[in-house]
Amino acid sequence: MTSGLEALHISWQALCAVSIGTSAAVLANTVYFVMIGKVNERSPEGHRISYVWWGTEVRKRFKQLYPQSRLSFLVDSCVVVMVLCFIALVRFWVFS
């Protein structure tokens, strides 16, 4: 009898890629919520960004209001980590 992981043929490298990529995605989303909060603190009532429906304007407006902040760099780093983890996942799961 085989275990669940052996039956699915998932390597430990693929599991690491999924867990690191997921962690980077959650961190990026959390940082975006912080950025939205900071932008909304300085924006008038009619120009605030919704926490539910937002797009690329968050990063642009945040960089205008806080040019020295490193939060946008953190989001960019998380996106790079997510892409690299996706590539690793494809390598270790699909082509193994």
* Tens-place pLDDT, residues 11-48: 899 999 999 999 999 999 999 999 999 999 999 998 89
CB burial string 36-65: b at 16+ within 10 A, e below: bebbbeeeeeeeebeeeeeeeebbebbeee
Query: From start to end of the chain, where are the E strands?
Result: none
- Which of 17, 40, 1, 21 is CA-nearest to residue 93? 17
Token representation of residue 26: 């959650």
Predicted pLDDT of residue 24:
98
* Tens-place pLDDT, residues 2-12: 555 555 677 89
Average pLDDT value for the chain: 89
Predicted pLDDT of residue 69:
93
CA–CA dist 57, 31 (Å, integer): 14
Whether this prediction's pTM lies above 0.85 is answered by no
